[in-house]
Structure formats: structure tokens, C-alpha cells
Structure 1
């Protein structure tokens, strides 16, 4: 196993812990003594850690090299053989997909996200994306499927505790139906409202979409569905993942 293999194994383990809610990028930075931007670049494959930095992150997370390897090493195992096996199993290394973080307007309007619209990229386990069920209208079937947006304080205050200021919401733009994703759980949808988006629970009442906040002290918003439009035309997509601290 070479340094690059070890570097990628650690990154994948940190992404897994973040997705499970056990860790945040901010906490990694504080524990290991890095700037938050340095950790974010590492998680996004934009910057590598030095050998010393790798040791600091391992120590801060209470990890050993054996903990992050994708195969079990016996006491007499050969590290070179492990590295060869890791490189021969690309699915083990390529488990992370990069979702573009864009503005609210780009998420709503750009069928294919332009390079100039990408603020940064968010690492997400590829399996979590492929597991998402789609329910797209014909209008958006050809759109780039997953995008991410960062929530400002106004968006977050309406959806406490689901959202927090600065949290990142990944939107599945191939699920713009009002049909519940889970029968017993309300969906969080990204809906066009004025020139922007609102992240809200949504109901249809006659020819109106009711955008309901989670916080009882925030107002309910109404969107009138035009006669020549469908309710799904106003839905940008379903929020399928939320990350805090990236």
C-alpha cells in the first residue's frame, strides 16, 4: 500500500462518519488543529494531507491504519499485497461521488450545471445516491440529477431542527412529485418561490401549494398553480441528504 492509497482510505472513512452524523468537517479541523477550509479541501479531493497531517487526523479520530483499510490484515499480512488488492478493486476506492454545490437560482434553473456555477463540490457516498428512488416529470427527466445548496439563516430558521445556518442540502431533481417518498414521513422539498427557492414541507390544496415550515413561529407560504402548469413544475426536487459542518 502506498501513501495515496492510505490517504484515500482515510478520506472515505471520514466521509462515512460525516454522512452518519457522527462527525463534521468543523470538528475534524478543531480536533486535528487544521483550518476548516483545509479539511474541506481534503474531503473534496482538492488538497492532500502531509504525512504529519495524516497522523494528526488518525490520532484525533482514534484510528489506526488497520481501522481504515478496506481488507482485513492478519498479523503476518503484507502491506504491499494489501495495496495491490486495493488498487485492483476500483469500486473500493471510487465510492465517493462529487455533487456540485450551487446557488439557489442555478439549482432551480440550470438543467445541466455549468462549470461557472459550481461553488465547490460535496463528497457523497456513491451508493447513497444510487439508492435514491426517482419520480421525475417528463420536463426534468434529462436534467442533471443531484445538486447541493447551502442554507442561509432564513432558510434554516424556518426548518429547525432539520436545517441549520450553513448546512448543505442535497437535492434530487429527479424527484419532483408531491407523492410521499416514505408513507410515514413528511418530505422536505425545494420549491420555486418568487425568484428563489424555499425548502419546506409541501401540500397541495386545490390549485395552491402550501409551503409549511417546521418552526411554528414562521409563516406558511402559498404558491398558486397556474392553469397551464402542473404542481410538479414548481418543485425543483426532494432534499435527500443534509450535511452539517462542511
Structure 2
């Protein structure tokens, strides 16, 4: 974690509050005594805030640095050297798609995963996501599960490796399951790419294949949130 990451965490938290309707750029400018253009440029990543400016924004929103820090993925069981565990935060689909780090306010629950299971995963990151927190999990809802039944059921926890954004098969001759951003939704699908379109394939034959166009200046990795590397189903 460095100053740049902290700066970005604050920006993302402010945008989350604006999206929820509990804050506006105008209100934030009034609270901090900054020009509205200055706040707008900060929220749109066109300029940075000074240390003093960060302090003013934190104070105005009653935020502390501790509240912005991501969940520590290295906080495993230090006393169990044989099989250390790491904490993976379970977040909303939106947070998994849009948030570089899981902040305390975005964590719904946490789960313990063997550190070796996480560390053994190979990465193929989109350079834009290289600084993002690597492993986050979502709890699969009924709509996400419907296309992947019986492979996935509602309530399944899917751990996403957000540093695997490539369509290169993870294992030879086996389809790779991805979390894919499709509009405002996070879909869990097998994915192919042909003639400028992503082909989102369900597991259930009763569910249709979906086609998603990729812009001329975009690549499939811009839409791939991550590879599903672990599935945990409730009994």
C-alpha cells in the first residue's frame, strides 16, 4: 500500500457514496472549501489531491485511513505454518467489477482459504488491473446460477482471480469459467472470442448463448473481471 493506492481508495469510496445518493460533488466542495471544478477533476482522475487536501476530504466525510484500507489478505494464521490460511473478502458483484480494493464498507462477509490454493494460481493480468487486489469472492445469486445449473447453485461462493484476464485456456482441453462484466451485470460464463465478439456460453443447455461486441480500441480482457478459481457450495 502506498500514497497513490490510498488516494485511489478515497476516490472510489467517494464515488460509491455519490452512486448511493448520500453525497454529491457540490456538497463535497462545500464541505471541504474546494472549488467544485477541483473536486470534479479529482473524482474523474484528472488531478490529485495534496496530503492536506486528503486530510480535508477525510475530515469532511468523517473517514479515517483505517476505514479505507483493504482487507489484509496476508492476515493468515501465523501459528499454523503447515497450512496457513488467508482471508478473502466476499463483496457485491459491483464491487468485484469496479473496486480496486475491498474496503471495510464493501465487505459483506469473509472466508478462509488455504494460502497455497491461492498462491498456486497462475496469473495473466490485464495491465490496467495489475495493482488491483487479486482475490475477491462473490456469492452467486439465483440469476447468475440459472445459466450455470447444475454446475453452480444459488448461494455458491465463487472466488475470482482478478489477475487472470486472458482468454488463454488455464488448463489444456478444459473450458475456463470467468466472471465477465456485461453492462451493469457480472455474469459467470465460459468465454470464446470470434470476429470482434465475445461469446458467453452457459453450462445449462436451456439457457441461450450471449454475444457481446468489443470495441475497436478494447480487448476481451477489459471485460473479464477474473477467472473463477475456487467454488464453495453450501450443503
TM-score of the superposed pair, with normalisation by structure 1: 0.62
Correspondence for 2:233: 244
Q: Which of 220, 224, 229 is residue 235 of structure 1 equivalent to?
A: 224
Q: C-alpha deviations, 1:60-105, integer Å up to 9, x for none?
A: xxxxxxxxxxxxxxxxxxxxxxxxxxx996413x611110000000
| Partner Cα separation in structure 2 for residue 203 and residue 119 of structure 1 | 32
User: Are the counterparts in 1 of residues 179 and 225 from structure 2 also a CA contact under 8 Å?
Assistant: yes
Correspondence for 2:194: 205
| SS of residue in 2 equivalent to 1:128 | helix
Q: C-alpha deviations, 1:110-141, integer Å up to 9, x for none?
A: 01112100001011111100011101021111
Return 5+ residue gaps in structure 2 as ranges: 1-76
Correspondence for 1:180: 169
Higher relative contact order (CA 8 A, sep 6+): 1
* 1:156 and 2:145 matched: yes
How is 1:136-155 mapped onto 2 (pairs within 5 angstroms)?
Answer: 136-155=125-144
Return 5+ residue gaps in structure 1 as ranges: 1-86
| Partner Cα separation in structure 2 for residue 176 and residue 104 of structure 1 | 16
* 1:112 and 2:120 matched: no
Q: Shift in Å at residue 149 of structure 1?
A: 0.3
| Partner Cα separation in structure 2 for residue 112 and residue 156 of structure 1 | 25
| Aligned residues between the structures | 159
* 1:123 and 2:112 matched: yes
RMSD of the TM alignment (CA)? 1.7
Which deviates further from its counterpart, 160-169 or 233-242?
160-169
Q: Shift in Å at residue 161 of structure 1?
A: 2.2
| Partner Cα separation in structure 2 for residue 103 and residue 203 of structure 1 | 25
Cα distance change, pair 216–142 in 1 and its aligned pair in 2 (3 A): same
| Partner Cα separation in structure 1 for residue 124 and residue 150 of structure 2 | 27
TM-score of the superposed pair, with normalisation by structure 2: 0.65
User: Are the counterparts in 1 of residues 155 and 233 from structure 2 also a CA contact under 8 Å?
Assistant: yes
Determine which structure has the larger helix proportion and give its number.
1
Q: Specify the structure having the higher radius of gyration (Cα).
A: 1
Correspondence for 1:91: 81
Q: C-alpha deviations, 1:14-43, integer Å up to 9, x for none?
A: xxxxxxxxxxxxxxxxxxxxxxxxxxxxxx
| Partner Cα separation in structure 2 for residue 88 and residue 153 of structure 1 | 37
